[in-house]
């Protein structure tokens, strides 16, 4: 065995050393690999729309129907200055008309996000949080996100709201509210 061979074995051992980390106990929350937004930390700054390396951001608004109040005046759909229940441009919060409002039963309306139009600006989220239940929130879509090792939006996020999630829990939901007795 030459010195080279010995050295070679030594370095092979060195490379395999990190594998010892595999035997460490896996944490419960599990540091995953895929990027996701923690809705409670998000401050709806609007950077999700502009910072993604893709031309159309992989962040989209998501509606948790279980938490929605189905209100006539949805503060995420309508903006607060003008309260007329039509689809005129000046009444809407969403800049790209990505929320579809449909009548369900009296006095409830369903609000659905049109994913093709949503640009991830977060304006509806802000409105929903201010005067509503907070059932609208931004999430990174798994089918669009390219899973960069260093997410550009994560780096730019002022609230440090990006976390890495494991493959089996790719979305972080808001807990549905308890109904008052």
Report the nearest approach of other proteins to the CB of residue 101 (Å): 14
Question: CB neighbours of 127 closer than 8 A, spacing ≥ 6?
Answer: 75, 76, 77, 78, 79, 80, 93
Report the nearest approach of other proteins to the CB of residue 22 (Å): 6
Report the nearest approach of other proteins to the CB of residue 16 (Å): 7
Report the nearest approach of other proteins to the CB of residue 139 (Å): 8
Quick check: helix, strand or coil at residue 137?
Answer: strand
Cβ distance to other proteins smaller for residue 30 or 85: 30
How far is C-alpha 10 from the geometric centre of its chain's CA atoms?
45
From residue 77, how far is each of 19, 100, 118 by CA, in Å? 51, 9, 13
CA distance 39 to 118: 17
CA distance 40 to 47: 16
Report the nearest approach of other proteins to the CB of residue 170 (Å): 5
Report the nearest approach of other proteins to the CB of residue 45 (Å): 5
The DSSP secondary structure of 138-164, one letter per residue, reads EEE-TTT----SS-HHHHH-TT--EEE
| Residue 46 structure tokens | 């609007």
Cβ distance to other proteins smaller for residue 85 or 130: 130
């Amino acid at each position: 065995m030459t010195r080279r061979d010995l050295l070679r074995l030594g370095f092979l051992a060195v490379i395999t050393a990190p594998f010892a980390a595999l035997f460490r106990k896996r944490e419960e929350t599990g540091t995953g690999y895929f990027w996701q937004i923690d809705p409670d930390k998000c401050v709806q700054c609007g950077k999700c729309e502009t910072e993604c390396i893709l031309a159309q951001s992989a962040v989209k608004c998501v509606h948790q129907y279980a938490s929605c109040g189905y209100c006539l005046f949805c503060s995420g759909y309508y903006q607060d200055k003008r309260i007329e229940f039509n689809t005129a441009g000046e009444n809407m919060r969403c800049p790209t008309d990505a929320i579809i409002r449909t009548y369900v039963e009296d006095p409830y309306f369903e609000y659905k996000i049109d994913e093709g139009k949503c640009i991830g600006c977060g304006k509806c989220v802000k409105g929903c949080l201010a005067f509503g239940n907070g059932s609208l929130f931004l999430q990174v879509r798994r089918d669009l996100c390219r899973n960069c090792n260093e997410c550009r939006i994560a780096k730019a996020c002022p609230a440090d709201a990006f976390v890495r999630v494991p493959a089996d829990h790719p979305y972080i939901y808001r807990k549905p509210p308890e109904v008052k007795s």
